[in-house]
Structure 1
Amino acid sequence: MNTSIGRRKCSIAITQFSRNKSDQIIINGLNYRQYFQQNPFQIATILKPFEVLGLSEKLSISITVKGGGLTGQSEACCLAIARLLQKQKPVYRQLLKTKSLLRQDARQKERRKYGLKKARKAPQYSKR
């Protein structure tokens, strides 16, 4: 069984070709549009690999995603879908690679340091 993993921030997405032949993308048991609350930015992020390859969304893909927020989850799903498509047909690798869809974005939120309000924001300086 072909599975692939995508990660972004604290989110982890695991994709696999679905057993049911409904020709849609299912995320945690919901349609992807319903899961991402009809948000056009996140829906476009999910569909980016299909757009680059010129494919319609006529694939049955099941995604299990956990952790993080919706933006991190959508970007993790994008990476996982791109990796799954590349495993299916190695010809797609070059197209996906030129659009940087196979690159994992490893940036994480910086931790808060003691004595500061946030990771880098210091309290206001008072002269007197």
Structure 2
Amino acid sequence: MAEIVKIDPKVAKYGTGRRKEAVARVWIFPGSGKLYIKSSSGKEWEGKDYFERDILIQKINMPFVVTETLGKFDVYATVKGSGKPAQAEAVMYGIAKALLQYNPELRPSLKSAGLLTRDARVKERKKYAQMGARAKYRWSKR
């Protein structure tokens, strides 16, 4: 359980990240590198407790690693929708946008790492008279 985080609007910078159905609202502010997540259930988590896999934490920290600001900002994010991997990517995009708001000179490094491009791939919808998006029902002559 995380302690209650107060966000000062004068210091904090905001960014929205999206991936698949996941939406992350992200605030960054100067600190010691802590990650606080508020899930759609209303519960607040430390980042490692919510995103249990190390690869997801690495993905979230990628904008900080690219801009060499790892450990200089605390992150507070609210996430909803989709699964945890998509939420982690949404947080990553939100952090990248917030860093850009904090210092516009970081744009070339974030851009070259591909962190400012939204991944627009979403699940294709199921079509009528088919099993799924592309799979058809099996045809039998008799």
Deviation, structure 1 residue 125: 2.8
Partner of 1:90: 104
Residue 130 (structure 2) aligns with: 116
Q: CA deviation at 1:64?
A: 0.7
RMSD: 1.6
1:96/1:102 contact within 8 Å kept:
yes
Q: Distance in 2 between matches of 1:119 and 1:94?
A: 38
1:80 pairs, out of 72, 94, 111, with 94
In the alignment, what sits opposite 2:41? none
Structure 2: 5+ residue stretches without partners? 1-8, 39-43
* Alpha carbons 2:37, 2:50 under 8 Å: kept: yes
1:10 maps to 21
Matched, 1:66 2:80: yes
Contact 1:24 1:58 in 2 (8 A): no
TM-score, with length taken from structure 1: 0.90
Task: Name the residue aligned to 2:48.
Answer: 33
TM score, norm. by length of structure 2: 0.81
Equivalenced residues, count? 126
Per-residue CA distance 1:46-92 (angstroms, 9 max, x = gap): 01111111222231111111111101100100000001111101111
Q: Partner letter of residue 34 of structure 2?
A: Q
* Conservation of the 8 A alpha-carbon contact between 2:32 and 2:71: no
What stretches of structure 1 move > 4 A for 4+ residues in a row? none
% identical aligned pairs = 36
- Structure 1 unaligned regions, length at least 5: none
Please tell me whether the aligned partners of residues 46 and 77 of structure 1 are also in contact (alpha carbons under 8 angstroms).
yes
Equivalent residue for 2:68? 54
